[in-house]
Amino acid sequence: MAAPENTSPSEAEPNEKTPPVYRDFIRKIIDEELASGKHSSIITRFPPEPNGYLHIGHAKSICLNFGIAQQYHGQCNLRFDDTNPVKEENEYVDSIMEDIRWLGFTWDELHYASDYFHQLYDWAVQLIQKGKAYVCDLSGEETREYRGTLNTPGKESPYRNRSVEENLDLFQRMKAGEFPDGSRTLRAKIDMSSPNLNMRDPVMYRILHATHHRTGDEWCIYPMYDFTHGQSDSIERITHSLCTLEFENHRPLYDWFCDALEIYHPRQIEFSRLNLTHTVMSKRLLLKLVTEKYVHGWDDPRMPTICGLRRRGYTPEAIRTFCEKIGVNKMDSLVEMGLLEFYLRDQLNLIAPRFMAVLKPLKVVLTNWEPGKIEMLEAINNPERPEDGSRQIPFSGELFIEQDDFMETPPKGYFRLSPGKEVRLRWGYYIRCNDVIKDENGNVVELHCTYDPQTRGGQSPDGRKVKGTIHWVSAQHAINAEVRLYNPLLTVPSLTDLPGEFLDYLNPDSLQVLKNCKLEPSLADVPEGFRCQFERLGYFCCDPDSTEENKVFNRTVTLKDSWAKAQKK
């Protein structure tokens, strides 16, 4: 497992002897700016584009932005960055709000970049009037050609020196819908020979006759990200605009627009994206998995989306702890999925009540049990939390155990059940296997065993040693269930530098469905989303696909990191 990417200089709490320590470089900057009087309060924002569902990478940004606001008693806004009408939908807006709330955060103000379209238009007009923006008739392809490359300077557009009047007239007519899509753009007049390609007269507005999820058909020109983001931050008086490293090269432009417009100037600070092993995080790829049905939807428990993790049984606390522990810095890195699972397991161990469930049942008949007798046995709910008490579980002469807990010819060191051997039933009795019943194909279908009445509760009366303890359910009391087991979505830790398409690396065994599972009856009435441990099998969560007759459970995570072990073999 990768060590958490701790940030300098130390995570220790400050005390009298040590000077204040910073958990990350962003908080250090904020502390300095508060101390110097540059700011008296802090405002951050989380700015998703509503073109997909949030994923665990977004959680990092959410925990950072909302976490800073909480820590400094400041404010954090939710702003939908909705400047691309083609890909955005209200479904995404709703899911994003639900996921942020579920993660445990509340925004102070809710905004949409589209609410600023009029202001942005006015600002564009101002830049034209100042001679800092012009309407350009180059096509998309020509614009790219003229831009040049990292090694070659760009070429100025032949339309660059249009008069202010002509630009104002054309821009107004772009807005009025006189021109087709792609025929003209509004561009900032900056520097075609800048080493930063983003500064080579970037496009501010494009023509797009498309219906917007909020503004409908009011607009047929839409501002670009770079002409929207900083100004939106400025309007909301965001003090620190935190974004991921790919925007580092956009910062000069962010600053240029604020300066040219002479408006309040927030400070953009970049940090590294979260990448997790064995999954994909880009919305484009996640969308492909959903639309081409490689998974059963955005909330498929295999997805790294917040709703997928929720359905899988993740807790918001575990996700928050993970985000806090990986820290924030400027180095791109790949974090082990095992680390996320570690924090989840850590928390579920403390809170999840224990139950018994048999995933691949094998019938056991106790030949010396009084026919029809039912005994209630006491089982501790959670050994980590004595205050959670205990429950009664029924025991009878016919039980189910796991097929894996029996071997006809066991290797040395196998302490579970085998012919002539004894095993302890959890919370119950010792049983000894006397007969193995097989079908015509030689498959074991039933075991005939005897129980030792002296061993109730798993205690040996004569000090005889029984090493193995296995779980079970009473056959007549068991409830039926489908259990879904999961493996990682990808067969490789990372797609970086691999040939082919990402679909080539999809794990064909990411989902295993077990239909004939048997659960202890205490689980009959648990609600959707209920989290528990099935003893010896892992942590599970009740799925919304559950019906009256048939519960469905997802395995959230195994008890130990078996995947990492399997990888090392």
Binding residues for ligand ATP, rule: CB under 6 A, are 47-49, 57-58, 60-61, 243-244, 273-274, 281-283
Of the candidates 177, 182, 185, the one whose C-alpha atom is nearest the C-alpha of residue 135 is: 185
Q: Which is nearer to ligand ATP, 128 or 286 (CB)?
A: 286
CA distance 127 to 122: 9
Question: Which amino acid makes up residue 551?
Answer: K
The residue annotated as part of the active site, out of 45, 175, 200, 283, is: 283
User: Which partner from the list ligand ATP, Mg ion, none does 60 bind, CB cut-off 5 to 8 Å by kind?
Assistant: ligand ATP
Q: Provide the minimum distance between the beta carbon of 101 and ligand ATP in the complex, in angstroms, as a whole number.
A: 16
Q: Provide the minimum distance between the beta carbon of 81 and Mg ion in the complex, in angstroms, as a whole number.
A: 7
Of the candidates 145, 143, 249, the one whose C-alpha atom is nearest the C-alpha of residue 194 is: 249
Chain centroid to Cα 64, Å, comes to 15
Q: Do 256 and 190 form a contact (C-beta atoms < 8 A)?
A: yes
What is the 8-class DSSP label of residue 370?
Answer: P
Q: Do 536 and 559 form a contact (C-beta atoms < 8 A)?
A: yes
What is the token pair recorded at 4?
Answer: 């958490």
Catalytic: 32? no
Instruction: Give the helix/strand (H/E) hosting 112.
Output: strand 110-112
HEC readout, 164-188: HHHHHHHHHHHHCCCCCCCCCEEEE
Catalytic: 49? yes
The residue annotated as part of the active site, out of 273, 391, 456, 536, is: 273
Q: Provide the minimum distance between the beta carbon of 487 and ligand ATP in the complex, in angstroms, as a whole number.
A: 22
| Bridge partner list, 271 | 244
User: Which partner from the list ligand ATP, Mg ion, none does 61 bind, CB cut-off 5 to 8 Å by kind?
Assistant: ligand ATP
User: Which partner from the list ligand ATP, Mg ion, none does 232 bind, CB cut-off 5 to 8 Å by kind?
Assistant: none
Q: Which is nearer to Mg ion, 49 or 336 (CB)?
A: 49
User: Which partner from the list Mg ion, ligand ATP, none does 507 bind, CB cut-off 5 to 8 Å by kind?
Assistant: none
Q: Which is nearer to ligand ATP, 100 or 433 (CB)?
A: 100
Residues that bind Mg ion (CB under 5 A): 49
Residue given tokens 């009856």 in the structure block: 521
Q: Which is nearer to ligand ATP, 228 or 533 (CB)?
A: 228
Q: What is the number of residues in the chain?
A: 569
Q: Which is nearer to ligand ATP, 60 or 147 (CB)?
A: 60
CA distance 351 to 355: 13
How many other C-beta atoms are found inside a 10 Å radius of the C-beta of residue 542?
20
Q: Which residue's CB atom is positioned nearest to ligand ATP?
A: 57
What is the 8-class DSSP label of residue 536?
Answer: T
Q: Provide the minimum distance between the beta carbon of 505 and ligand ATP in the complex, in angstroms, as a whole number.
A: 18
Q: Which is nearer to ligand ATP, 330 or 360 (CB)?
A: 330
CA distance 531 to 403: 25
Q: Which is nearer to ligand ATP, 276 or 532 (CB)?
A: 276
**How many CA atoms are closer than 13 Å to the CA of 230, on its beta-carbon side?**
25
CA distance 288 to 338: 25
Q: Which is nearer to Mg ion, 229 or 240 (CB)?
A: 229
Give one DSSP letter per residue of 242-294, joined into a string: EEEGGGGGGHHHHHHHHHHHT----EEEEEPPEEETTS---HHHHHHHHHTTS
User: Which partner from the list Mg ion, ligand ATP, none does 274 bind, CB cut-off 5 to 8 Å by kind?
Assistant: ligand ATP
| For residue 9, cis peptide bond before it (omega within 30 degrees of 0) | yes
Q: Provide the minimum distance between the beta carbon of 243 and ligand ATP in the complex, in angstroms, as a whole number.
A: 5
Q: Provide the minimum distance between the beta carbon of 438 and ligand ATP in the complex, in angstroms, as a whole number.
A: 53
Cα dihedral sign for 167, 171, 172, 177?
positive
How many other C-beta atoms are found inside a 10 Å radius of the C-beta of residue 329?
16
| For residue 493, cis peptide bond before it (omega within 30 degrees of 0) | no
CA distance 70 to 42: 10
User: Which partner from the list Mg ion, ligand ATP, none does 312 bind, CB cut-off 5 to 8 Å by kind?
Assistant: none
Q: Provide the minimum distance between the beta carbon of 49 and Mg ion in the complex, in angstroms, as a whole number.
A: 5
User: Which partner from the list Mg ion, ligand ATP, none does 281 bind, CB cut-off 5 to 8 Å by kind?
Assistant: ligand ATP
Radius of gyration (C-alpha) of the chain in whole angstroms: 31
Catalytic: 273? yes
Q: Which residue's CB atom is positioned nearest to Mg ion?
A: 49
User: Which partner from the list ligand ATP, Mg ion, none does 360 bind, CB cut-off 5 to 8 Å by kind?
Assistant: none
The residue annotated as part of the active site, out of 5, 11, 33, 49, is: 49
Active site residues: 49, 273, 283
